[in-house]
Structures are given as C-alpha cells and as structure tokens.
Amino acid sequence: MSEIFSIFQYDFMIRAMIAGICIAVIAPVIGIFLVVRRYAVMADTLAHVSLVGIAAAILTGAFAPVTGAIIVSLIASVGIEEVRTRQKLYGESVLALFLSGSLAIAVILVGLARGKNVNFSQYLFGSITTVNWHNVILMLVFTIIVIAVTVVSYRRLFLTAFDEELAKAGGINIKTYNILSLSFAAITVSLATQVVGALLVGALMVIPTLTAMQLKRNFRQTMILAALFAFLSVVIGLVASFYLNLASGATIVIVALILFIISIFISKSS
C-alpha cells in the first residue's frame, strides 16, 4: 500500500491525479446527457475536432494547444447544432460529417507541423507528464462550473435530452440547453486530451455511463454512479500506467471496460 502512495512524491503525478479526478467527475455528467440523446459518438467527433485546434495551435504558435482545442471544439459544437436544426439532418449524419471533415483537416495540419518537432502521440493517447498547474486550475474551475450549472439546470437539461418536444412544450429554450451541453462536452474533451488522449476521451464519457446503466437506477443515481465508475477508472488507470509504464489514456479506458464487464455480470445475477 505504501508503494502505491509513494507515487505522490512526484509533482507530475499529483497534477495528473487532480486533473484526472476532475475529468472523472465531469465526463460522465456530460456524457449521460449525450448517451440518452443517442449522441454517444459526439465525444469522439469533438475529440477529432480538438485535434484540429491542437495542430493549428502548434503550427501557428499563436496559443497553447489546449487553448486551440477548446476554441475549435466550441465553434464546432455550435456548428453541429446549427447544421442539425437548420438543415433538418439526422444527428448521426451531422456527427459523421464533422468527424470525417475534422479528421481530414487534422491530418493535413499535422503533416504541415511535422517540422515543429512535436510529439502528437501525447495528445492522441494522453501523457500525464504534460499536465501543468495551469491546466489543473482550469479543470478545477470548469468542474465547479459544470456541477453548479447541472444542479441549477438539472430539470431543463434532463427534459431537453429525453424529449425535445416535451421540453419545448414546457417553455424550455431547447436550443440554448442543447448548445450548453454540447459546449460543456467540447471543453471537457479538450481539457481531457492531455490525461486521456483525444482518441480515447470519448470512451471515458460513455463507458462509465453505460456501466452505471447496467445497475438500473433512476437518472440521478445513474449519473452519480457513472461519476464513481469514472473516478475508479481514472485513479486505478493512472496508478497502473505509472508502475507498468503504459499510456495513461489507454490504461484508464481498459479499467473502465473491465468495470463495464463486471457490471454486466452483476446485472445478470440480480
């Protein structure tokens, strides 16, 4: 046990753990609203979009990679909602459009930025050593904002996610809350790229939610359980990645998958 806690003698592990726990709290809280809207692939779409911002930031040197990811992801989240509502397209079609388009742009920008001598794999798969205190403070502030907004606007977010027509009939501005939830998802994905990685952050938003759903609780309890499963995934994953010298993002997702499999067996036996 003492060996496990010895990792906290390293400053980068303290930063990574705090940042990871923040992500573990907010990712499933945002993810559950995406899942019930059948927008589970939204996280992956925004993750690919964030790569465009990261590559553009590195190529231009105008701002930090995470800042670039946030800016581009926010623009894309609003664009996705606008295209979906104005063009009357199915949500899955819009997401596929943005996912493939952003991936193509990201590949081109990464190719142009090769001379910058930057290791893009740290953004693709996560790297706990790249998390600094500025990132940690940003994540803490954002976590507080997400929790506060979710608590205050829980009923409106819930109705908008489950039934837009019912929410509209209840006088709720569904466009505002749709953009709000997508914007939160965009920022969450962008902030999580350093710990989990852009290619895997979507899994942390979705898998803990699906795990909690296996236990067949009400929506609020499912959200809390999803955050708990995400917390366990991040803590166990970060510790294991440190001692086994593995990519942090991949290890976190593997732990999340193991918890999901366990939840299936628990669900079948109950």
Q: What is the mean pLDDT of each run of 10 residues along the chain (270 residues)?
A: 66 86 89 80 84 85 83 87 70 76 84 68 75 87 91 87 80 84 87 80 87 87 92 91 84 93 83
How many separate domains does the chain show?
1
- pLDDT at position 144 is 93
- pLDDT at position 87 is 61
Evaluate whether residue 118 is within a structural domain. yes
- pLDDT at position 178 is 84
- pLDDT at position 5 is 64
Among residues 34, 21, 19, the alpha carbon closest in space to that of 210 is found at 34
Evaluate whether residue 186 is within a structural domain. yes
- pLDDT at position 119 is 67
Evaluate whether residue 261 is within a structural domain. yes
Evaluate whether residue 270 is within a structural domain. no
Cβ atoms 68, 57 nearer than 8 A: yes
- pLDDT at position 4 is 58
pTM for the structure as a whole: 0.83
- pLDDT at position 134 is 85
The CATH number assigned to the domain holding 252 equals 1.10.3470.10
Provide the domain limits for residue 238: 2-265
Evaluate whether residue 175 is within a structural domain. yes
Among residues 80, 85, 56, 91, the alpha carbon closest in space to that of 70 is found at 56
Evaluate whether residue 133 is within a structural domain. yes
